[in-house]
Amino acid sequence: MKKKIFIPVAAVCILFTGTAFQNDFFEIAKQIEIFTTMFKEVNMNYVDETNPGDLMNTAIKNMLNELDPYTVFMNEQDIEEARINNTGDYTGIGATVKTLKDKLVVIEPFKGYPADKAGLKAGDEIVKVGEVVVADFKDNAGDLLRGAAGSTVNITYLRQGQTFKASIVRQDMEAKAVPLYRMVNDKTGYIALSKFTNTASYEVSNALRLLKTDGAEQLILDLRGNPGGLLKEAILIVNLFVPKNELVVTTKSKVEKYNQTYYTQREPVDTQIPIVVLVDGGSASASEIVSGSLQDLDRAVIIGSRSFGKGLVQRPKQLTFGTQLKVTISRYYTPSGRCIQALDYWNRDGEGKAVRVKRESYNEFKTRNGRSVYDGGGVEPDIEISGSKQSSIVKAIVADDYVFDYATKYYYDNAKPNLTSFQMTDADFVNFKSYLQSRNFAFETKTEKALDKVLQTAGEEGLDTAITSGYQSLLNQLNAYKDQAIDNNKGQLLNLLENEIIKRHFYREGLHEYYLANNEEVVKASEILSSPAKYKSYLRP
């Protein structure tokens, strides 16, 4: 009887599964054929000459834009950049460079590397590489700076309105995952981790062991501004502090083979040392795996502001002609079961932007000790430092490079500051506000955008004259609000300026040393670690 029932049921399941697969396959084949014939007809019959490569590149990018920003098509140059990002090894001039339409801006020269030795400074604008004018170069001009180790690249750059030339000998480089580890006091060690490259866990392990040798009985792990990297390195770093066979992260996908559960595989270095992990809005992906799992396991206290909220996992897929597709294959979940993805790319607003998960939609989970933690928007710190969370107006000022550009000006107008005691003054803030005005800084709020639409609609209906005075009054109030908003964020803006100026003089290593003496989060972490009772209280429900 069981066989008589089971066999027909199994046959029906196979039939429906097969039918569903066939329907999917047919639909994919159908759409590919439609696109292929359309693409052919456009290229053969369009009134002007077309570039098939450009058209296809645009088509691919627009198709992927409907998904999420991490699912991307990668050409050979993109693949090389991804390799550098994961390994930290490449050949070049030894500087972070930002590519603009007509120039390459040096963002940060690395101490002791070719760009630094050649005298390049942050803010220098490279306008010519060899005989190539950057403004005339159609591809990624940053690639012009790369080349074989030992080869020379000649550049022309602008600094403070003057033109300079430099010859730079390229060399093999290895970007450190740990730019600084140091004792904060006689008992507290500090490790800054900037990226999860394939040497990250080794560097953190080495730093931890050396700090313990120096007397460290407690630890601050700084993951602020760390965008992530290799998943395996995140698991290995968690493993330094928790026992073998401990659950760290789970990935879930519609494809069965991508459903994975990751446990620690090695013996830890120290399962008892008290840890404070620092995070902010720039801590993403692998940083959130480390901070989220240590929080769920009640193994660390998290301080700062809510992390970025990237709970999506990507995997590269080889395509033809040396290209790749980096595609989102799954979501990851911390030990408590929460996914901390902040943006919902499958539900978008009227402007086509991904919707942020609302707090009332967060789901509650429990840590090992029974503390409440939540999904839906990054790792929420156990202790939130208000000054570490950037407001919308501060984000706009930073995004438009006003902090960076003012720091460049300050660097050339002022003497070298003291590394540990440097602080900007009220007069400096007034000067910065004047600088913003001179650069015509304009921050458009969502309210202004909505008012513009109202005025446009009113014009179409012939009502614009009737509401003009009220509209202008609202704009004046908004402008007054924005002026006040800059003042309200004075402390955060001054901190950003101080950090950028310190980095100009003392490099990234010096910036982390400056943090040890002046940063609010580091000071708070040291305070909590100095009191075992207070530290333990944050790990209890």
Does 403 fall in a domain?
yes
Check residue 209 and give its pLDDT: 97
Q: Are residues 362 and 220 in the same domain?
A: yes
Does 217 fall in a domain?
yes
- Bridge partners, residue 331, by sequence: 252, 312
534 pLDDT more than 90: yes
**8-60 pLDDT tens trace:** 444 444 444 455 445 677 888 888 899 899 999 999 998 888 898 888 888 88
Domain interval for residue 507: 392-441+489-520
Q: Are residues 224 and 368 in the same domain?
A: yes
Say how far apart CA 146 and CA 152 lie, in whole Å: 10
Question: Of 422, 384, 407, 416, which Cα lies nearest the Cα of 513?
Answer: 422
Helix ranges, 345-440 (H): 392-399, 402-413, 426-438
Q: Are residues 296 and 344 in the same domain?
A: yes
pLDDT (mean) for 506-527: 92
Q: Are residues 235 and 348 in the same domain?
A: yes
Check residue 15 and give its pLDDT: 42
90 pLDDT more than 70: no
Q: Please check whether residue 70 is in contact with residue 314, taking contact to mean a CB–CB distance below 8 angstroms.
A: yes
Total domains in the chain come to 5
Domain stops at, among 113, 139, 174: 174
Q: Are residues 113 and 185 in the same domain?
A: no
Q: Are residues 340 and 196 in the same domain?
A: yes
Give the catalytic positions in this structure: 285, 296, 310
Check residue 427 and give its pLDDT: 95
Greater confidence (290 vs 258) lies with 290
Q: How confident is the model at residue 445 (pLDDT cuts 50, 70, 90)?
A: low
Q: Please check whether residue 429 is in contact with residue 497, taking contact to mean a CB–CB distance below 8 angstroms.
A: no
Does 242 fall in a domain?
yes
Does 66 fall in a domain?
no
Check residue 2 and give its pLDDT: 47
Region class of 112: left (phi > 0), else alpha (psi between -120 and 50), else beta: left
How far from chain centre, in Å, is Cα 378?
Answer: 12
Say how far apart CA 198 and CA 221 lie, in whole Å: 18
